Structure 1
Amino acid sequence: MHEMWVGADAAGGGLVWHVVAADTATTLCGQSRQHDGVAGHDSTDRHCLECMSALQNILQTPTGA
C-alpha cells in the first residue's frame, strides 16, 4: 500500500505531493519523510515527478515478477 505525503520539492521549488510506501520513513524518490512542519492537503496540487514515475513502474510490474 502507498500513501501521498506533502513535502518539499527536491529542486527547492516549494511543496509537492510525494508517494510513500506504507510503514517507511522515505518517499519513493528517497527523501526523508519528516513529520514536523507538514503542510495541509490543500497546500499544493503539484506532484513529485520522480515519485510518480517510480509508482508507475511499481504498478506496471506484473505480480510475482
Structure 2
Amino acid sequence: MTAQDTVPFALWVASRHLDDYRAAITTCVEAGGDIDTTAAIVGGVVTGPPEEWRQAREPLPDWVGRSGREL
C-alpha cells in the first residue's frame, strides 16, 4: 500500500466494519503497509474497542483526560 492509498483504504475498511472494531483493526493489520496509520484512522471512525481490550491495556497516567488548563 502506498501513502496515497492510506486514507481511501482506511475509509473503505471503516465503512465495511463500522460496528466491529476488532474486524476493522484486523483488516488493517492483515493488509500490511502503513499499519499504524491505517489502524489509527479506522480506530477513530468505527465503534470503540471491545471491553476486554480496554481491560487488558496498561494503566494510563493520572494526567490523561485532564484539560490543558490543569497541566
Question: TM-score higher than 0.5 here?
Answer: no
Which one has a larger percent helix, Structure 1 or Structure 2?
2
Which one has a larger percent strand, Structure 1 or Structure 2?
1
TM-score, scaled to structure 1: 0.25
Look at both structures and tell me which one has the larger radius of gyration over its CA atoms: 2
